[in-house]
């Protein structure tokens, strides 16, 4: 029996691992910073030896100090002693010393008192008068320490061995910490949001179709639980839609028999006008039942998606209406590839064009596109729609035309069906009244590669 020591894949664990990675990153960058910018173990040893040298020279007599200083050889560094009345000592005495709380504050203590010290390079005017080979070491560095009698010991180095000054160390340290936190935040945001983005992509893929397959359960435990709950809800909605469709199909089928009987009995009515009215009512009932059944069945979702020329589809619709003498125009690109259900989109666009012709006397189609979406605008020159009804007209069986005449008001399912098709493709449809008069229908569809 094997025991798997694997942490659970949850959002809490991912956040904990991300924070841990950030802390490790900060520690790693701190170590790197100490190696590059702060005093290392080697540099600490050098400073300890320099401190011992200062104490030794300070304890010696003025006669022996020059000889002792020249005898000092700390790796590549050497020392020089300058009396208090020398030009170099006077310059160093008025120089600005570093902060007392710098990293070198624990060195160069004489009788418990911190001795003044000055850092400078060969580019600094303070280096004038100091004896060293300027030709061979053009980038030398200096550490000067004042003794009790106001004389100075100057350590000359060809490379910097005592790290950066305190302000620069703080700046570099803060930069390293900020860089590590920024990197950890970017990684955490990416890895934590990646399964959520995948979930959103899956939802867009199914396009709100209750008959689509379940969403893949991936990601941390909390997200998998949310996806499982969504799949269960989708299954319930799918069952409800199927039951509703079966019920409507049965009602439509059962209505055919009494409607046929009414039509047969209507043949015995002697009054021609009354018989025509009865037959017209029977036809309306039959058309209403068939339209409702077609809408609730969502037949357009049985069509397979394919890549087709969307601009060509709109131009074909324009030509078909033009052949019938209808004022329909098209403006836009000659070709535009789109992945979708061509016959369903054709019916949806024809519903919108029919409405424009019926209520606005003409239809003007405009196709625009960007890298991510296409926009189809269908404009007419009618009276428009009252502002309070711009959203209400999408409700099933809602008609602005209040008469019961099907030839003038329709069944009230044209816009509802068109929006269902558009939203099944991941897009949307909106209405607005034009300032110059008429209604403009804007259809937005995503371009999915």
Give residue-wise pLDDT tens across range 298-338: 555 567 788 999 999 999 999 999 988 999 999 999 999 99
Find how far residue 366's CA is from the centre of its chain: 31
- β-bridge mates for residue 446, sequence order: 373
- Count of CB atoms within 10 A of residue 382's CB? 19
Pairing state of beta strands 328-331 and 363-369?
Answer: parallel
Reading the block at residue 354, the tokens are 């029919």
- Count of CB atoms within 10 A of residue 156's CB? 21
High-pLDDT (> 70) share of the chain, %: 75
Return the residue matching tokens 């002693």: 81
CA distance 241 to 236: 9
39 contacts 103 by C-beta, under 8 angstroms = yes
∠ CA 142-144-150, nearest 5°, is 160
- Could you read off the pLDDT of 281-302 as tens digits, one per residue? 887 777 777 666 666 655 555 6
pTM of the model: 0.48
In the predicted model, is pLDDT for residue 91 greater than 90? no
Pairing state of beta strands 109-110 and 306-309?
Answer: unpaired
365 contacts 377 by C-beta, under 8 angstroms = yes
Mean pLDDT for 24-32 is: 72
Helix (H, G, I), strand (E, B) or coil at 397: coil
What integer pLDDT is reported at residue 403 of this predicted model? 47
Residue in 326, 374, 358 with CA at minimum distance from that of residue 439: 358
306 contacts 339 by C-beta, under 8 angstroms = yes
In the predicted model, is pLDDT for residue 226 greater than 70? yes
Percent of the chain that is helix, strand, coil (3-state, to 5): 50, 15, 35
Reading the block at residue 122, the tokens are 């060969």
- Could you read off the pLDDT of 156-210 as tens digits, one per residue? 877 654 554 555 656 766 777 777 778 777 877 777 778 788 888 777 766 555 5
SS (H, E, C) 6-34: CCCCCHHHHHHHHHHHHHHHHHHHHHHHH
Element of type H or E holding 236: helix 221-266
């Amino acid at each position: 029996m094997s025991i798997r020591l694997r942490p659970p894949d949850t959002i809490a664990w991912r956040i904990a691992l991300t924070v841990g990675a950030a802390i490790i990153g900060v520690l790693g960058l701190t170590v790197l910073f100490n190696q590059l910018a702060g005093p290392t173990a080697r540099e600490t040893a050098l400073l300890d030896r320099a401190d011992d040298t200062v104490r030794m020279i300070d304890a010696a007599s003025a006669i022996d100090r020059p000889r002792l200083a020249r005898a000092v050889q700390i790796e590549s560094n050497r020392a020089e002693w300058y009396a208090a009345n020398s030009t170099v000592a006077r310059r160093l005495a008025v120089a600005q010393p570093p902060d007392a709380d710098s990293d070198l504050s624990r060195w160069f203590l004489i009788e418990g008192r911190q001795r003044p010290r000055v850092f400078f390079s060969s580019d600094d005017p303070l280096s004038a008068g100091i004896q060293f080979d300027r030709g061979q070491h053009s980038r030398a560095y200096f550490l000067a320490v004042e003794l009790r009698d106001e004389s100075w010991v100057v350590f000359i180095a060809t490379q910097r061995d005592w790290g950066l000054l305190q302000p620069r160390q703080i700046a570099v340290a803060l930069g390293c910490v900020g860089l590590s936190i920024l990197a950890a935040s970017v990684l955490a945001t990416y890895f934590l949001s990646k399964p959520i983005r995948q979930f959103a992509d899956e939802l867009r893929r199914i396009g709100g179709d209750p008959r689509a397959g379940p969403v893949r359960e991936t990601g941390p435990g909390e997200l998998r639980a949310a996806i499982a709950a969504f799949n269960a809800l989708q299954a319930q909605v799918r069952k409800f839609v199927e039951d509703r469709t079966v019920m409507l199909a049965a009602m439509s089928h059962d209505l055919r028999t009494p409607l046929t009987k009414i039509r047969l009995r209507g043949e015995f009515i002697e009054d021609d006008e009354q018989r025509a009215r009865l037959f017209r009512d029977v036809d309306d009932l039959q058309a209403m039942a068939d339209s409702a059944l077609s809408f609730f069945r969502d037949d357009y979702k049985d069509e397979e998606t394919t890549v087709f020329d969307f601009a060509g589809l709109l131009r074909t619709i324009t030509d078909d209406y033009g052949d019938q003498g209808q004022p329909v125009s098209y403006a836009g690109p000659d070709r535009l590839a789109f992945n979708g259900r061509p016959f369903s989109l054709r019916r949806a666009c024809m519903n919108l064009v029919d409405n424009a012709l019926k209520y606005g006397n003409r239809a003007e189609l405009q196709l625009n596109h960007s890298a991510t979406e296409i926009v189809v605008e269908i404009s007419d020159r009618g009276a428009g729609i009252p502002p309070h009804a711009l959203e209400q007209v999408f409700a099933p069986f809602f008609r602005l035309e209040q008469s019961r005449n099907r030839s003038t008001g329709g069944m009230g399912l044209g816009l509802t069906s068109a929006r269902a098709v558009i939203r099944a493709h991941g897009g949307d449809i909106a209405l607005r009244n034009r300032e110059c008069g008429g209604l403009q229908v804007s259809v937005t569809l995503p371009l999915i590669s």
